[in-house]
Amino acid sequence: MDHVDGILKQWNRERPDLDVGPMGLIGRISRIYGYLMREMSETFAKHGLNRASFDVLATLRRSGPPYALSPGDLLAATMVTSGTMTNRIDQLEKAGLVARAHNPDDRRSMRISLTQKGREVIDAAVTDHVATQARLTAMLSEEERKALDGMLGRYLSRIEGEG
């Protein structure tokens, strides 16, 4: 019994014509997402970051040396619009965590790279972040987590497959 069960019962009473099976699944995903994000945001804040800045720094960090990507690359990794990415990079540049440089091969393109400070911040933040995520999934047994993860992976790959 969770919060979503109550919602489905209300709909069943008010609109018995509707099949609320999919609504239950999607409602649970939304609700879980909300809780997870709220908790993870606190970890980001401890490092002076928010989800937006964390995502950009983390994308640069995990891309490996030399920790540099174009705005377009970052865009492809993060499900946001180009204007949003420009703004994110602006903020990170102001904070001294990334540097902007022109791409010598293509003057339209930029090269966003982690600064030394950016590298330090994201490495510490990721370590903390992983610990937070471990805590947020600790109420699942290893077995449960893997089973759930497997099903979500199949679902996600089918969603992405449709494009």
Chain contacts with DNA (rule: CB under 7 A)? 50-53, 70-73, 75, 79-91, 100, 103, 106-110
160/56 Cα distance (integer angstroms): 22
Q: Shortest gap between Cβ of 144 and a copy of itself (angstroms)?
A: 7
Q: Which stretch binds a copy of itself (CB under 8 A): 22-30, 42-50, 97-105, 112-120?
A: 22-30
* Cα 96 to the center of its chain, rounded Å: 22
CA distance 86 to 69: 13
154 scored as a contact of a copy of itself (CB under 8 A) = yes
Q: Tell me which stretch binds a copy of itself (CB under 8 A): 82-90, 91-99, 107-115, 141-149.
A: 141-149
Question: Please, which of residues 92-111 interact with a copy of itself by CB under 8 A?
Answer: none
Residue 71 partner contact from a copy of itself, DNA, none using kind-dependent CB cut-offs of 5 to 8 Å? DNA
Angle value at C-alpha 136, between 120 and 9, nearest 5 degrees = 140
Q: What is the CA radius of gyration of the chain?
A: 20
List the interface residues with a copy of itself, window 75-94 (CB under 8 A): 79
Q: Which residues pair with 113 in a beta bridge?
A: 68, 99
Residue with tokens 């947020």: 136
Does the protein bind a copy of itself through residue 151 (CB under 8 A)? Answer: yes
Q: Which of 156, 153, 56 is nearest to 114 (CA)?
A: 56
Question: By C-beta, is 9 or 51 nearer to DNA?
Answer: 51
